[in-house]
Amino acid sequence: MEHITSRKNPSVQQAARLLSSATFRQEQGLFLAEGARLCRDAVRSGLVVPAAYFTAKALEKYPAYAEEIRQAAQTVYVVEPHVAGLLSDTKSPQGIFCVCRIPGLPEGFPPQARAALALENMQDPGNLGTVLRTAEALGVDGVVLGGACCDPFGPKALRASMGAVFRLPVLVEMDLPCALERWGRQGWRTMAAVPDTGAIPVTQADFSQPTLAVVGNEGNGLTPETLQVCGERVTIPMRGRAESLNAASSAAILLWEMMRTRTG
Amino acid sequence: MEHITSRKNPSVQQAARLLSSATFRQEQGLFLAEGARLCRDAVRSGLVVPAAYFTAKALEKYPAYAEEIRQAAQTVYVVEPHVAGLLSDTKSPQGIFCVCRIPGLPEGFPPQARAALALENMQDPGNLGTVLRTAEALGVDGVVLGGACCDPFGPKALRASMGAVFRLPVLVEMDLPCALERWGRQGWRTMAAVPDTGAIPVTQADFSQPTLAVVGNEGNGLTPETLQVCGERVTIPMRGRAESLNAASSAAILLWEMMRTRTG
């Protein structure tokens, strides 16, 4: 294991840039994972790991995680704590980091998919990660990132997703309305989630057919273009203040209803 | 309106300390609200506002908000942008801040209350605020902060709650097990949310009686003492990875089921 003592080490510099720049991640097709659990999840999901970095303390504190990650990594470095600081997005770093190859994202849903979620222009990485995590927990078959969503491989989104992005089919569609029309022709029901008491209450929506729930940006909701191509509009009936439900919580309730009623 | 040009102004110094220190908030019985919407919500909720601070730009940009806030505030200051920076917890401050008196928290639930939520040791202010916001949206009658929850009047929790803490009955109970026993004797069903497939699925829980859903800390769940005094244990059935649902999303689904089945 090579020992890195300088913050100017080129490998560390590259890893740090993967942490801070979405453009650099895209150019390189790589991202940086942080933490024992997330790095191990990346390895278990079969991601290619060109480099792993450990502090000496982390090797001692997380021997089982470290061993599993070391086996999979192409190069392993031991880094000084002040070097590890460059690679961390958290207040108390665990001292374990992996440069991982961004997995090839699928072009379509898996063949048996019947329940999927599309997000449009979701800009908050915490919300995006939370929604991916919820989608995985509830057994949704795939998630579409439509329009200008933030990068699911950024540090905050990764942390909030708990690695769901490694395991869940995640599709990227710059032109969401066009993709929704295509899925509509293929037999998917497209349901726009709207904060509109005139829409179908989610408790009365029919999820018996393959359904794609479409959720918009927190501040602005769905774009008119996307709303127009969706087959139905559904809403979460609220007793309190209608405006008071954030994007991740709305998505949780919508996905829950979709999965609950399908389970019977 | 007094003009403040120095970051050393005592009124600004006090407000900045309210932003950063939960202990100071508690000592003073005051907190700092930031943003046009949150400050207006504080005013509309009838909170006492000893001081309001505006940048000149904010007075121009949000005239209606500013007017409403100025009417309610005991003292109004115009502050230079570099002074406003001291009062802000956000990247792009709107330039509107209010020192508000922490409302007197209720001792018990409102008389007609039938659906409430208790949180135990919830430490993440974003999660806490999101849960309060969801509870308000879904029409829950009250929220209990049990044990060592973070401060709902801290900047991150306030922002995530969108002011729900001003409007929702929020009770604080240091000794949650003791309080749960008391409510149990008063006829409340106490339901502990657990990630345990042996517990009652939330879809089969009986919410027809006044119900208090009890949700634990993200990492550690509920304490054994609290679990022991709860009358029932419920769980959210998941198809995917059971561990993958964060505290705010779990609470959203649990509250949704409680309110949905009560609505009929």
Q: What is the pLDDT of residues A235-259, one digit of tens each?
A: 998 877 656 688 899 999 999 999 9
Contact status of A203 with chain B (Cβ, < 8 Å): yes
Closest residue on chain B to A263 (Cα)? B239
Contact between residue B109 and residue B171 where contact means Cβ atoms under 8 Å apart: yes
Tens digits of pLDDT across chain B (264 residues): 899 999 999 999 999 999 999 999 999 999 999 999 999 999 999 999 999 999 999 999 999 999 999 999 999 999 999 999 999 998 889 999 999 999 988 888 998 999 999 999 999 999 999 999 999 999 999 999 999 999 999 999 999 999 999 999 999 999 999 999 999 999 999 999 998 889 999 999 999 999 999 999 888 899 999 999 999 999 998 877 656 688 899 999 999 999 988 754
Contact between residue A171 and residue A222 where contact means Cβ atoms under 8 Å apart: no
Calculate how close chain A gets to B255, using CA atoms only, in Å: 10
Q: Which of A117, A246, A258, A261 to mutate to test the interface with B (most CBs of B within 10 A)?
A: A246
Contact status of B139 with chain A (Cβ, < 8 Å): yes
Asked whether the predicted pLDDT for residue A102 surpasses 90, the reply is yes
Go through B168-202 and write b for each residue having 16 or more CB atoms within 10 A of its CB, e for each that does not.
Answer: bbbbebeebbebbeebeeeebbbbbbbeeeebeeb
- Model confidence, pTM: 0.91
Calculate how close chain B gets to A21, using CA atoms only, in Å: 18
CA angle B88, B94, B95 (to 5 degrees): 65
**Tens-place pLDDT, residues A109-158:** 998 999 999 999 999 999 999 999 999 999 999 999 999 999 999 999 99
CB count in 10 Å sphere of residue A99: 25
Instruction: Give strand pairing partners of A211.
Output: A115, A189
Contact status of A173 with chain B (Cβ, < 8 Å): no
Place of tokens 């200051």: B77
Closest residue on chain A to B140 (Cα)? A240
- B133 with A259: Cβ contact below 8 A: no
Q: Tell which phi-psi region holds residue B29, choosing left (phi > 0), alpha (psi between -120 and 50) or beta.
A: left
- A256 with B253: Cβ contact below 8 A: yes
Calculate how close chain B gets to A255, using CA atoms only, in Å: 10
Counting every residue written for chain A, the total comes to: 264
Residue type, A192: A
Contacts of B132 in chain A (CB under 8 A): none
* Predicted local confidence at residue A218, as pLDDT: 82
Contact status of B92 with chain A (Cβ, < 8 Å): no
The SS3 call for residue A200 is strand
Q: State residue A244 phi and psi, 5-degree precision.
A: -95, 70
